Structure 1
Amino acid sequence: MAHIFIMTSKDISVKIECMKIIVRMPNWIGDLVMATPILIDLRKAYPDAEITAMCQENVAPLLEKELAIDELFRFSRAKGFFRRITERNIAGKLKRGNYDIGILLTNSFSSAWRFRQGGVKQIIGYRADGRSFLLTTPVAFSEKRKEKHLVETYKEILAPLGIPVSDTPSRLIVSDEEVEEAWDIVKRLYISPDAKIIGINPGAAYGTAKCWLPDRFAEVAKNLVRADTKNVVIFFGDRSHKELIGNICTDLGSRVINLAGQTDLRQLLALIKICSVFLTNDSGPMHIADSLDVPLIALFGSTSPAITGPYKQRHNIIQKKVPCAPCFKRVCPIDFPCMKKIGADEVTEMVLAKLSNVVEAK
């Protein structure tokens, strides 16, 4: 049984005995990856606690191999007639879990309400969305929140548990079997075993303002396969990006492969893992590659790498200084200067240099 100290709003240290901790993980792929250090730090601080990660079904596969947790609490969102039934089921499962401490890495009212309905005894979360009265331990955001990396903002929520902000990086775990299956997929695509695989992710979930120009991704892919006959480019994306990537890959030849919408999340992790280099916008796959220690190049436009950039590979970024960036808009209202200033030749050279370093290291 682990002993945890909870700080109340009056900064009074109250000793409680805790056997069960539940962490409500973020809903987006990239945010969830950036939140994984929380699970690791909790396990280090309280090795005897039973730790549960709670997350939506669509992102839950990311944590299937995570060693820091004892249970993965999956749930699905429902709308309309089925919403009340779904909410009752979630509350019932939370009650059966009999959790001593709940940590909210989401800032919504509904996530705090679920913990309350589910009988979670101690609820820790940031003051947001008018939900402070639902939290037993409300935490104020740092005044420098807009200057800090999101990983650090997540870590600061552990202060009431006596856990200081650590250097723990983001982590995803891919098994040897999954890596072997990824190589099997590559073989079925008639890719040579000695090929140098370059992954490209040209999409992003938040909006087009985060995305480099499609024709420039196509130009880079063309340059890469021309540079070396062993270079193979694989484009990744979900179903929503099939048309985008299909247009990019048109007439680029057999060594440029379109896997958009053809992989599940675990397969995506394994395929990114075997890439020699990964080129990407600010996106969930960027954080996946970073957490798997895959050398990457991240292109930034409307968003800030200081807040949501790759946590481990912060130097592997291309971003041009323009007066309006970062604007954090979904769609650029003007002429997209932040992304247009990034040239295809510049990106090609950086990818090839990174690829050369990887080959030399081997």
Structure 2
Amino acid sequence: METPQRILIRMPNWVGDVVMATPVLEDVRGAFPNASITAMCRRPLSELLEQDEAIDELFSFEKGSHEFSRRDYSRDIIAKIEAGKYDLGILLTHSFSSAWWFWQSKIKRRIGYRGHFRSLLLTDPLTPSREKIHQVLRYKRLLEPLGIPISGTLPRLYLRENELRESKELLYQRGYQRGAKLIGINPGAAYGSAKCWPPERFRALAMELLLQTDAAIVFFGDANTASLVKEISQGLPERVIDLAGVTSLRELASIIQACTVLVSNDSGPMHIGAALRIPLVALFGSTDDEVTGPYGQPNSVVNKRVACAPCMKRVCPIDFRCMKQIEVNEVVERVLAYV
């Protein structure tokens, strides 16, 4: 096998998955220290890969938004990939379109998992393992055709010092007192309500932590969960800061870095916290923490392991027992261990 000189790695399309895929970048760099490595990632998720020491270039692109323009959009993406003259492409996505782009762009070697009728577009189509393994390891197994063994590398993110300073300023502007402990709470999740601890429990958690500690509490969320966070935090004391829908992904990561502990459902912010080595209290119900739990922090998971879980449903069709069995006092005790 020729040593690749120009490598393109197509990153996943969800915040948490991008974070869980970062060890692949580090492992490829370790195997090919002299190669030029480009990470291809959709905006705004690509923000998370800025400053990554394992890559030479970040290929950011927008998701095609209109049906009538998709052909032109795809043609433009293919032209940009072809211009890079890559001799190795690694697909961490499972879509047909991503494999089609790599094939049309004449990348010499194309590695990815089978499925979605794309095997013929790959030079190295791998069959996904049927055994239950963590998503981080599933990504790493794509490197086996390159002779790269499964490593112990962990997800990681790189933040600049000025970003950390500016994130503190954002908190100060909203009443955060210098030197106070900071508890992060992320009550939402992109996949659906079945992944989320009930809003009234998050509110009760915040109220109890305000009573038992002098810490400030910062709520995280995106534009889609801003109304949920407002509902939870409305009327709470000034030590509660609502940043839902306010931050970019890099600002979110920088503020999570400032947290003493982060309480979260199974979500992108949870994986960001794990990558930044922030103590976590990770609440699981409908999803499987053995597959998508905070990598490297298995003891941070709270999961009642009810008979119907993990169901992987977006909305619970019955009584939501997996999350309702997680009591507020249990989460409070977990948080207090770090504050």
Q: Could you state the TM-score of these two structures normalised by the residue count of structure 1?
A: 0.92
Moved more, 251-260 or 328-337: 251-260
Q: Match of 2:43, as an amino acid?
A: E
TM-superposed deviation, 1:143 = 2.9
Deviations along 1:66-95, one digit per CA (max 9) or x if unpaired, are 000000011111122221121111000011
Q: Helix, strand or coil: the match of 2:334? A: helix
Gaps of 5+ in 1: 1-14, 356-362
Tell me the residue number matched to 1:74.
60
Q: Helix, strand or coil: the match of 2:311? A: coil
Within the candidate set 78, 81, 84, 1:97 is matched to: 84
Tell me the residue number matched to 1:119.
106
Within the candidate set 126, 129, 151, 1:166 is matched to: 151
Listed as ranges, the matches of 1:257-336 within 5 Å are 257-336=241-320
- Inter-partner Cα distance in structure 2 for 1:311 and 1:334: 30
Listed as ranges, the matches of 1:224-243 within 5 Å are 224-229=209-214, 231-243=215-227
Deviations along 1:179-237, one digit per CA (max 9) or x if unpaired, are 111111111112111111000000000000000000000001011111123x1000000
Q: Helix, strand or coil: the match of 1:303? A: coil
Gaps of 5+ in 2: none
- Inter-partner Cα distance in structure 2 for 1:143 and 1:282: 22
- Inter-partner Cα distance in structure 1 for 2:188 and 2:128: 30
Aligned residues: 338
Tell me the residue number matched to 1:186.
171
TM-superposed deviation, 1:107 = 0.9
Q: Match of 1:241, as an amino acid?
A: T
Tell me the residue number matched to 2:230.
246
TM-superposed deviation, 1:178 = 0.8
Runs of 4+ residues deviating >4 angstroms? none
Q: Match of 2:110, as an amino acid?
A: I
Q: Helix, strand or coil: the match of 1:22? A: strand
- Whether the aligned pair in 2 keeps the contact of 1:221 and 1:233 (CA below 8 Å) is yes
TM-superposed deviation, 1:256 = 1.1
Moved more, 244-253 or 79-88: 79-88
Q: Does 1:157 align with 2:169?
A: no
Q: Does 1:345 align with 2:332?
A: no
- Whether the aligned pair in 2 keeps the contact of 1:124 and 1:157 (CA below 8 Å) is yes
Q: Helix, strand or coil: the match of 1:18? A: coil
Listed as ranges, the matches of 1:124-139 within 5 Å are 124-139=111-126
TM-superposed deviation, 1:18 = 1.9
Q: Match of 2:212, as an amino acid?
A: A
TM-superposed deviation, 1:156 = 0.5
Aligned-residue identity in percent? 51
- Whether the aligned pair in 2 keeps the contact of 1:77 and 1:83 (CA below 8 Å) is no
- Whether the aligned pair in 1 keeps the contact of 2:134 and 2:290 (CA below 8 Å) is yes
The alignment yields a C-alpha RMSD, in angstroms, of 0.8
- Inter-partner Cα distance in structure 2 for 1:285 and 1:190: 23
- Whether the aligned pair in 2 keeps the contact of 1:104 and 1:123 (CA below 8 Å) is yes
- Inter-partner Cα distance in structure 2 for 1:67 and 1:17: 21
Tell me the residue number matched to 1:54.
40
